[in-house]
Amino acid sequence: MGIITSHGAGVEANWEKIKAGESSVGEITAFDASPFRGRLGAEIRGDTHAPVSRLRAGRLDRASHLLIYAVREALGLAGLIKPGIDVFLSLGTTLGGMLSGAAFHREVIEKGISRARISKTLDYLAHYQALNLFREFGLTGDYAVFSDACASSANAIGHAFGLVSSGRYDVAIAGGYDTMSEFTFAGFNSLMAVTPEICRPFDKNRTGLILGEGAGILAIEELGHAIRRNARVYCEITGYGVASDAYHMTSPNPGGEGAANAMAMALKEAGFPDIGYINAHGTATKYNDLMEARAITKVFSSGNKGDVDIPVSSIKPMIGHLLGAAGAVEAVVSVAALIGNYLPANINYLTPDPDCNLSIVTVGRAAEIRAVLSNSFGFGGSNATLIFGEYR
């Protein structure tokens, strides 16, 4: 596993802060956020230039740097820095190299198109970052870059899981990445989705999301292949579900049918395991959280009100909503929760919402966890669910 977020670089650093319930949300520094309703974000501070040996660092978008950080950690921990076999690279992103594209477009606006530096577009398109990974790590094989809004990297992991479990590849590198950009910040502000205060998923007084940035990567390997080379097995991926709302581009289906279908599909594939923790999408927007609560209730309730006692939390108040990277980063945290037997807190939660009648984890605590379910939902009605089970 590999991860970089506003909490820092590395699985350990992130997990320690998540266990402690820390928030790394602060005033946006990447651009002038003062005209916007919400001005907070979860940025990665300090130098984010990843050490590269085969690429020209100055030509890389910030997205590539974050991705290289996470991939290097994941391959290092997996002992796969030089895989030596064909791999499938499965990534999710909403923006790709948007910062480079925006910089180019700004020059077009300010200087005219003929004077804008075309070199700024070299890492703009969303599949260029994947190709950069092939170059930097000497990979061969195939890749796919999913852009399914905020479900992008959950779908990327799910697809990689399918390819490995069906025997097409022994090893897949899967995850996602996104950067803090003025473009999306303005976009979510225009939709009135960004909170002007703190982010409090499932709280009755929730007022919106906080954007973040980062990357998360899983090295997914066929179990026998991993055992034969004495790799450390963190967990098993046991289920993946995907379904669409077919309802609205930006609003989720209020009844949560699509989300419930995704969860049901994943649970069926996993053999209906005993879910010990639900890592919720939990953006803290009014409509997402209501929809997700209804969907979880639909899937797990036996019909009696308030009978869903599976612990639920969203980590977005700590590290923000990472858009296309959210599913991957939350997958890493879900796996950490599973192997650490610890429930991360849904920080900032104060006032229960009777319409979101879930068992919210208000304070992080130890718990015996056999399986974790992680949800990701996005624009366009994308719904994806991953299930991770303990490796025994």
Q: Which residues contribute to the site for another protein (CB under 8 A)? A: 35-37, 94, 96, 101-102, 104-106, 108-110, 113, 118, 121, 125-127, 131, 134-135, 139-149, 155, 159, 162-163, 166, 182-183, 186-192, 242-250, 258, 261, 265, 378-382
Least Å from the CB of residue 160 to another protein: 11
**Contact at 8 Å (CB) between 200 and 186?**
no
Least Å from the CB of residue 202 to another protein: 24
**Contact at 8 Å (CB) between 343 and 365?**
yes
H helices within the chain, ranges in order?
11-19, 62-78, 98-111, 128-137, 152-165, 182-190, 223-228, 257-270, 286-300, 316-319, 326-340
Least Å from the CB of residue 348 to another protein: 26
49 in catalytic set: no
Of the two residues 8 and 96, which places its CB atom closer to another protein in the complex? Answer: 96
159 in catalytic set: no
321 in catalytic set: yes
* Cα 343 off chain centre by: 18
Rounded to 5 degrees, φ, ψ at 47 are: -70, 120
Of the two residues 15 and 137, which places its CB atom closer to another protein in the complex? Answer: 137
Of the two residues 258 and 273, which places its CB atom closer to another protein in the complex? Answer: 258
Rounded to 5 degrees, φ, ψ at 41 are: -160, 170
**Contact at 8 Å (CB) between 125 and 97?**
yes
Rounded to 5 degrees, φ, ψ at 154 are: -65, -40
Least Å from the CB of residue 178 to another protein: 12
Least Å from the CB of residue 385 to another protein: 12
Least Å from the CB of residue 261 to another protein: 7
Separation of alpha carbons 79 and 219, rounded Å: 10
Of the two residues 134 and 287, which places its CB atom closer to another protein in the complex? Answer: 134
Of the two residues 244 and 341, which places its CB atom closer to another protein in the complex? Answer: 244
Give me the catalytic one of 7, 65, 159, 321.
Answer: 321
Half-sphere exposure of 200 (CA within 13 A, CB side): 15
Give me the catalytic one of 150, 199, 235, 356.
Answer: 150
Rounded to 5 degrees, φ, ψ at 194 are: -90, 130
**Contact at 8 Å (CB) between 174 and 90?**
yes
DSSP assignment of 142-171: EEEEE--GGGHHHHHHHHHHHHHHTTS-SE
Of the two residues 196 and 306, which places its CB atom closer to another protein in the complex? Answer: 196
Give me the catalytic one of 7, 65, 159, 281.
Answer: 281
DSSP assignment of 250-265: SSPPTT-HHHHHHHHH
Catalytic residues: 150, 281, 321
